Chains A and B, each alone.
Chain A
Amino acid sequence: MAVSNKLSLGTNHPNTVSETSELTKNLVKGLAYFFLIAFALIEFLPFLWSISTSFKSESEINAGFVRGFNWIPQQSTLVNYTDIFTKVEFGRWFVNSLIVGVVTTLFTLAFSSTSGYAFARIPFPGRNFIFWCIVATMAVPAIIYLVPIYILLKNLNLLDSLPGLIIPFMVTNFGIFLMRQFFTSVPLELEEAARVDGAGRFRTFAQVVLPLARPALAALTIFTFMGRWNDFLMPLIIINSPENYTLPLGMSTFRGLYKTDWGLLMGGSMLVMIPIVIMFVLFQRFFIEGVSYTGLKG
């Protein structure tokens, strides 16, 4: 070990050099661990504290820290998780959010994959011009749409309805962009082989291209569903009736009504997060790949 170091470094004091570099290496690693663990704690503690609160009774929560800092509830209770379904229409909001998320995602997948494929692979007049126009709209901040979308939905009679939260978001510039970038990077051979065999554009697309696009479709599913599930501003301006609330809108009004009922608020918050957590656990790879993928292309 020392000998090989001596040879490769070719300095006069090979041992001291290798020892100090070994020391700095360990020091850097130690620092890295310390920093990462500290930050992981900061990231997790608020969640853990909320989970803990959601299982506590009102009296235990109100007692505050008088009895010390209880991570484990003294008497665990599910009352917060049952009360939320009776005190407010939580179940209804959950179903609304699910409908909005799933339906929007299905349409986004269909529209983005077909158009993205054409923009990448099928030449037609004006193709590049149209595509770059779509990309240019990605630079426009969402706030510019606030008033016009409201007026448009009002004129289409879609205010205070779930379709009002779905239809405007079925086609997104981001979705088209993501799929087009993906199809541009897919190798041509398989597709060409199918074309030589006499398959038309539509058959090639459905049978050869779409199965290849699974990772991109997975990433798009995650981003779209998450975006709709968590969206707050659009439901806030579009929806009026409590029976049409989505979860974030419901939770925010709920926070106004039950200001100090922390057990109930935390129980609801945990329930809102569960579907996303399940998705995250199942598709974790695509989440992170998706972020890196869109990030690098941008």
Chain B
Amino acid sequence: MARSVGQTQVKIASGSLTREKLLDKWAGWLFVLPALLFFSVFTVYPMVYGLFLSLFKINSFNIDDRTWVGLDNFTKVVGDADFHKALLNTAVFSFFVVTLQTILALLLAVAVNQKIRGRTFFRTAFFFPSISSSVVISIIFLWVFNQNGLLNYALSTVGVKGPTWVDDPHTALPAIMGLNIWTTSGTMMILFLAALGDIPAHLYEAAAVDGANPVQRFFRITLPLLTPTTFFVVTLGLIGTFQVFDQAFVISNGSGGPEKSTLTAVFYIYQQAFKETNRMGVASAGAVILLVIIMAVTLIQRLLFRTETEQ
């Protein structure tokens, strides 16, 4: 009440000020409304719609023609040998890439954090690949992995005859793992480096006085204090690697081969939705399953890390 009286008085004083006051009252909503509108249409709605679609059979030639099939799509996905293969490939890929890139990133960060020259140079150099297009990186690596490419040339100088990498079902997936680790380790290193800067120097000084060697200091101080960052780096890695697609697509030229060795979970979902007929519902069910897996892995990982820090 008092407020409205105040506003009437202001109105008498100046018309433009009133308009501003009135706008002010609704300012919060006015600021968020446009963003919220787009967010609802292009994020919230598709998310819910995606769950909904997984329960329907969708006609590829007329996507508005849908039949309710209940959980049938889920049964189809779970029983599909290609999906098993895709999940296995993804799990193997994710395990090796996340483990190796986390260790590599941590070691690089510790190395850069020694009072060395060219700190900025190294930081920049390692970060650079992660800003490049995944398609371009894949094409560059196709050339590196070529039978007569850089890698096999390097191997030949030490007398090893390199495989045909991306054309061999045994080495195609490891090749993609290699290029992925090569790309993302630098970004992860920057996260570790930021956290290393937050560890108080007096802890290391005290440990040095107590006669702890660098290895002991790493395992007793650095590693435990970095646990939250390690958790974050591993989570980011898991979420990223579980959705690997671009590299597998370009390396295999859209086939997922040789012998489905580079067929990943997202690749499978893409093929079901856009390369098979009437399987968009199956693709949606696959996406829901992948969503549940990613969330479960993140959750389990969080629980593991939590008990570890509590000890």
Contact = CB atoms under 8 A, between A and B. Distances in A.
A, B co-complexed: yes
B284 A280 contact: no
Given A141-B294, A145-B50, A266-B143, A43 B43 contact: no
Nearest to A262: B143
Interface string B17-58: 100110110011101101110110111111101110100000
Contact of B125 (A44, A123, A148): A44
Contacts of B82: none
Contacts, number: 276
Contacts of B122: 36, 40
B133 interface: yes
A147 B148 CA distance: 40
Contact of B35 (A154, A155, A171): A171
Interface stretch (B95-103, B168-176, B183-191, B219-227): B183-191
Interface residues of A, number: 100
Interface string B234-266: 000001001101100110011000000000011
Interface stretch (A47-55, A75-83, A212-220): A47-55
Contacts of B134: 230, 232, 248
A134 interface: yes
A272 B136 contact: yes
Contact of A147 (B17, B34, B140, B287): B287
Contacts of B187: 291
Given A143-B243, A147-B273, A200-B20, A256 B254 contact: yes
A269 B136 contact: yes
Contacts of B50: 144-148
B162 interface: no
A32 interface: yes
Contacts of A106: none
Interface in A22-49: 24, 28-29, 31-33, 35-36, 39-40, 42-47, 49
Nearest to A47: B140
B214 A276 contact: no
Contacts of B274: 150, 237
B133 A229 contact: yes
Contact of B148 (A65, A117, A140, A272): A65
B31 A152 contact: no
A290 B84 CA distance: 38
A141 B143 contact: no
Given A28-B214, A42-B182, A141 B135 contact: no
Interface string A124-136: 1001001000100
Contacts of A112: 35
B232 A49 contact: no
Nearest to B37: A171
Given A35-B107, A226-B131, A256-B253, A40 B153 contact: no
Given A140-B47, A145-B46, A152-B49, A123 B28 contact: yes
Contacts of A2: none
A265 interface: yes
Interface residues of B, number: 102
A64 interface: yes
A112 to B, nearest CB: 7
Nearest to B110: A32
A43 B32 contact: no
A124 B47 contact: no
B126 interface: yes
Interface string A241-277: 0000001110110011001001001100100110010
A173 interface: yes
Contacts of B35: 111-112, 114-115, 171, 176
A211 interface: no
A17 B287 CA distance: 60
Nearest to B113: A32
Contacts of B104: 39
A31 B107 CA distance: 11
A36 B28 contact: no
B136 A251 contact: yes
Contacts of A9: 209
Nearest to A295: B191
Most buried by A among B32, B36, B131, B142: B32
A171 B300 CA distance: 31
A130 B36 CA distance: 9
Contact of A265 (B42, B139, B266): B139
Most buried by B among A32, A35, A114, A145: A32
B139 A251 contact: yes
B153 to A, nearest CB: 5
9 contacts: A28-B214, A31-B111, A65-B148, A118-B31, A127-B28, A148-B53, A152-B45, A236-B249, A292-B193
